[in-house]
Structure 1
Amino acid sequence: MNTATSALYHDFSGLTALKHQAREDQAGTADQVARQFESLFVQMMVKQMRQASFGNGLFESKQSEFVRDMYDQQLSLHLSEQRGLGMAKLLRNQLGVEQAVKTQPNTSLEAYWQHPSVLAKGRVTAAAKADNTAAEDRPSVNIDSPESFVEALWPAADSAAQALGLPTEALLAQAALETGWGGHVMRSADGGSSHNLFGIKADQRWSGDRVRQETLEFEQDVVVRRREYFRTYGSYDESFRDYVTFLKQNPRYTNALQNTQDATQYFKALQDAGYATDPDYAEKIVRVMQGPEMQTALNRLKGSLRQSIQSETEAI
């Protein structure tokens, strides 16, 4: 949405456009209105400081005062368009705009990648309440929290982890980072889940279905957006099995597979081999693996298993 504003203090057309836009979108123009008000306040401050000075200089004239006034007014507008004095923010708070912005959850996968340990319960709970047609990327099984993510995927993850010699929670942590605890699994062409938990791309070696998706890549420490083709699977079990096959059939990951006794070293070797372009990829996975969400989910799973075993024992 284009937002009207005045770039010059005498640009009344910008103010007129702002008034017109305010009639149609009050919330969207509140920020610009607050900045315009702050600009007027700064003008008053500058004018008062000028008047409190020791008087005009020897070479002052009506013309120089006129130019100075123009400069002061333009300066005040420029300051308000930059960081300002903080008054615009206070005005937005009074109008209720700032609070509305703060209460809107940031549910993007980019935000999760930037702060993987500050996850999710609020985000995935909100996603679970959303309509299926409106949700961005909903998994095909009932996953709406880190706990349900771990519980639903544990059997397939455990089988793949044993094949690699890794702790099961290590693979779950990588899948959680790639998909935001299952809340952002890519959709296939027919609108269903791609079940791609590890972001494996569909290159010339892949003969199955694929989906084109926007992704973030690091190029010389700069994040760029690209559209790439990714593999799609019929189930999450297939995704885990293909992850194991993908690593074992690719010689570049030999060193990583030789360090599976230490999950931290494994992910570092995986990153060094080019599995991901994010320079902090391994560190982020380890933070997820050791984070409170994973520990809570694991404790809940252990409790459920103990309860199941106890129930079966009592039944016998």
Structure 2
Amino acid sequence: MIGPSNDLSSKLALDTNALGGLKQSAKAGSPEALKTASTQFEAMFINMMMKSMRDATPQGEGMLDSQQTKTFTTMLDQQMSQNLAKRGVGLADVLIRQLSTQTANAQALAINGDVLAQPAQPIAIAGDQPAKRIAMPPGRDAGEMVKSPGALLTPAAPSMPSTPSVPGISASGRPQSPHVRAFQEKLGAHADEASRATGIPAKFMLGQAALESGWGKREIRNADGGTSHNLFGIKAGPGWTGKVATAVTTEYVNGKPQTRVEKFRAYDSYADSFKDYAKLITNNPRYEKVLANSQDAAGFAQGLQKAGYATDPLYAAKLTKIIQRNLA
């Protein structure tokens, strides 16, 4: 994290030590590094404007004009740009939103599969938004529910018959893009297995995996750069004992995006990702209404958003659009 000592907007423009601290924070994936780097870019932009204005201004040849005074004028402009960027002209905010979306839009958070024991308090989900808690049944403690949550629920509804699909043609009748068809062919068998376990149509889950992972192009990565196989953006909560991957993600608080570094579950294969997702959906009482309203894409997507799966206010609309327009 960048502390006050690394606040470049309060330092000299040519402070190389502060820039070195920014580089280290950027390597660690700090959200504050993104903010500070965007502010520095804004300062550079302001400095370029000031330089253009000075170049366009007629210059006299007075007694005090020399190469040295020009050098100090340039340094003054750099520092002034730094101070103006601290107040902000709006460019840094635009950059932060754009970069945050590019790196983490596909990683909208799912809530933990863990059930907590105190129903009177809100649970912090993605973005620290308060959400409904699950009331604890008499005679059960949190540990027992985490170990065997399925014992508290009725068996999953049997899979609904799906409408036969035409290869290469989406449900809307449009030809599928090559990357969409490849994504569906690669993960279709795993989605079918999860469908048998949950009763949710396979293409609904494929659509959610596509939204969370950017059609597989923006998967959550392990420290070594390899994929975590986490297609659904499920966080690694206190009850998770498996492997973990750390990534930058965007959470929405009161409708406003915030960049954060979070820990996510990591799997050995895509099959394990679908299995864990199916377990989360069927064993967590929060998603009972999702299962009950999964007859159509819109009902499924809206059920997920109402249950608190993600904090993006447009999550349901995005997911519905992906399913209806792209998947067969």
Q: TM-score, normalised by structure 1?
A: 0.51
Structure 1 residues 191 and 109: CA distance shift in structure 2, 3 A: closer
Q: In 1, Cα distance between the equivalents of 2:106 and 2:223?
A: 24
Q: In 2, Cα distance between the equivalents of 1:162 and 1:175?
A: 17
Contact in 1 for aligned 2:105/2:250 (Cα 8 Å): no
> How far 1:162 sits from its partner (Å)?
2.4
Q: Provide the residue aligned with 2:191 in structure 1.
A: 157
Structure 2 residue corresponding to 1:188, chosen from 202, 222, 226:
222
Provide the secondary structure at the position in 1 that maps to 2:226: coil
Provide the secondary structure at the position in 2 that maps to 1:210: strand
Structure 2 residue corresponding to 1:200, chosen from 222, 234, 258:
234
Deviates more, 1:165-174 or 1:4-13: 4-13
Tell me which amino acid in the other structure corresponds to 1:286: T
CA distances 1:265-307 after superposition (whole Å, capped 9, x unpaired) = 122111111100011111101101112xx24xx4xxxxxxxxx
**Pairs within 5 Å for 1:1-316:** 1=41, 2-3=44-45, 4-7=47-50, 108=102, 145-291=179-325, 294-295=326-327, 298=328
Equivalent residues, number: 184
Q: In 2, Cα distance between the equivalents of 1:223 and 1:217?
A: 5
Tell me which amino acid in the other structure corresponds to 1:241: K
Q: In 2, Cα distance between the equivalents of 1:247 and 1:164?
A: 7
> How far 1:110 sits from its partner (Å)?
5.7
Provide the secondary structure at the position in 1 that maps to 2:195: helix
The structure where helix makes up a greater share of residues is 1
CA distances 1:66-93 after superposition (whole Å, capped 9, x unpaired) = xxxxxxxxxxxxxxx99xxxxxxxxxxx
CA distances 1:220-249 after superposition (whole Å, capped 9, x unpaired) = 010111111000000000000000111222
Provide the secondary structure at the position in 1 that maps to 2:258: strand
CA distances 1:36-86 after superposition (whole Å, capped 9, x unpaired) = xxxxxxxxxxxxxxxxxxxxxxxxxxxxxxxxxxxxxxxxxxxxx99xxxx
Tell me which amino acid in the other structure corresponds to 1:281: Y
Q: In 2, Cα distance between the equivalents of 1:170 and 1:164?
A: 11
Contact in 1 for aligned 2:103/2:249 (Cα 8 Å): no
Q: In 1, Cα distance between the equivalents of 2:283 and 2:289?
A: 13
Q: In 2, Cα distance between the equivalents of 1:221 and 1:276?
A: 12
Q: In 2, Cα distance between the equivalents of 1:273 and 1:220?
A: 17
Rg comparison, structure with higher value: 1
Tell me which amino acid in the other structure corresponds to 1:108: Q
Tell me which amino acid in the other structure corresponds to 1:173: G
Identity, in percent, stands at 40
Q: Provide the residue aligned with 1:41 in structure 2.
A: none
Which consecutive unaligned segments of at least 5 residues does structure 2 have? 1-40, 60-69, 79-88, 91-100, 108-177
Deviates more, 1:257-266 or 1:148-157: 257-266
Q: In 1, Cα distance between the equivalents of 2:265 and 2:106?
A: 22
> How far 1:112 sits from its partner (Å)?
7.4
Structure 1 residues 147 and 5: CA distance shift in structure 2, 3 A: same
Contact in 1 for aligned 2:207/2:322 (Cα 8 Å): yes
CA distances 1:7-47 after superposition (whole Å, capped 9, x unpaired) = 49568859x859xx9xxxxxxxxxxxxxxxxxxxxxxxxxx
Contact in 1 for aligned 2:221/2:246 (Cα 8 Å): no
Contact in 2 for aligned 1:166/1:263 (Cα 8 Å): no
Structure 1 residues 109 and 145: CA distance shift in structure 2, 3 A: farther
Root mean square deviation, CA, Å? 3.7
Q: In 1, Cα distance between the equivalents of 2:280 and 2:106?
A: 25
RCO (CA 8 Å, sep 6+): is it higher in 1 or 2?
2
> How far 1:261 sits from its partner (Å)?
2.1
Which consecutive unaligned segments of at least 5 residues does structure 1 have? 22-80, 83-106, 114-143, 299-316
> How far 1:151 sits from its partner (Å)?
0.5
Q: In 2, Cα distance between the equivalents of 1:146 and 1:171?
A: 14
Contact in 2 for aligned 1:5/1:17 (Cα 8 Å): no
Contact in 2 for aligned 1:217/1:277 (Cα 8 Å): yes
Provide the secondary structure at the position in 1 that maps to 2:48: coil
